[in-house]
Amino acid sequence: MPLEELRVLLARHARPDWTTAIDGVLISKVDRPDPPAPSMSGTVLAVIAQGAKRLALGDRVFEYGPGQYLVASVDLPVTGQFLHADSEHPALGFGLTLDPSAVAELLLRAGPGDTPRTGGAAPSGIAVSDAPDALLDAVVRLLRLLDEPRDRAVLAPLVKREILWRVISGEQGATVRQLGLADSGLTHVSRAVRWIREHYAQPFRVEDVARMSGMSASAFYRNFQAVTAMSPIQFQKQIRLQEARLLLATHPGDVTGVGRRVGYDNPSQFSREYRRQFGAAPSQDAVRLRDAVRTPAGVLP
């Protein structure tokens, strides 16, 4: 069974920093369930071999376990939590970074009718499905190359393309295909997401960001909500609060200054929204962050 061998390979090659000798391939091994923690999802394919992960995006909740995969086609602010993990049965997961140029190349090579047509509203930026055996088999063959350094440089890129093709042509292919289309709704939303992340501390008008993204205000709002499960202003607030939390980890005594740096002119509003998001006042959470050792909480299990 591909899943059994996948567990063995992941357990053998897991590193503390999740990296591997194959570019873009990540392995996670987590031996305890953690409380929900915020992070950015990245653009990634994640396959779970053991354990489970729960991920919240806006008002949507995704849970995926052994033999299931998740695709994130936009780098989104999420809250993740590991489930069913202990020292004897750690959560084990495989991750592959999704490259828009690689998606575009495969779409150009595909023949007419090889993939369903992509149209209409942008799909959700995150989706979960059961992994078909063909996808699991390709993941296993890629991980075997970690034990075969002589063959790795030649064969790994080929197997990575096969994995990507299995996803592009599979159940959640619409989410990934739009990643490689220059004029897709997902691409327009991704452009706006990048702009908001880079300018999160400054106010903006939704109409201006829509224009910059190449969409009408109504189409932009509709597609942004579909992809991110948030309005543009809600998205900005998520980014601001996550950045504030990172800053507080290194500047625990400057709550007012941190709030101002991320765009809050009103300290009481900053404290109120921070407490609502993370369950503690900024000063209290700063102490907790300083003392805690956290596991990465992104898409990977």
165-206: per-residue pLDDT in tens?
Answer: 999 999 988 888 888 776 677 888 988 999 999 999 999 999
Highest mean pLDDT among 85-89, 205-209, 280-284: 205-209
pTM comes to 0.81
15-68: per-residue pLDDT in tens?
Answer: 998 999 999 999 999 998 877 788 888 899 999 999 999 999 988 999 999 999
Residues of the chain with pLDDT > 70: what percent?
Answer: 91
At 263, the pLDDT band (50, 70, 90 cuts) reads very high
pLDDT of 239 strictly over 70: yes
Q: Identify the pLDDT of residue 295.
A: 47
Structure tokens at 155: 């064969």
Q: Identify the pLDDT of residue 117.
A: 58
Q: Identify the pLDDT of residue 293.
A: 45
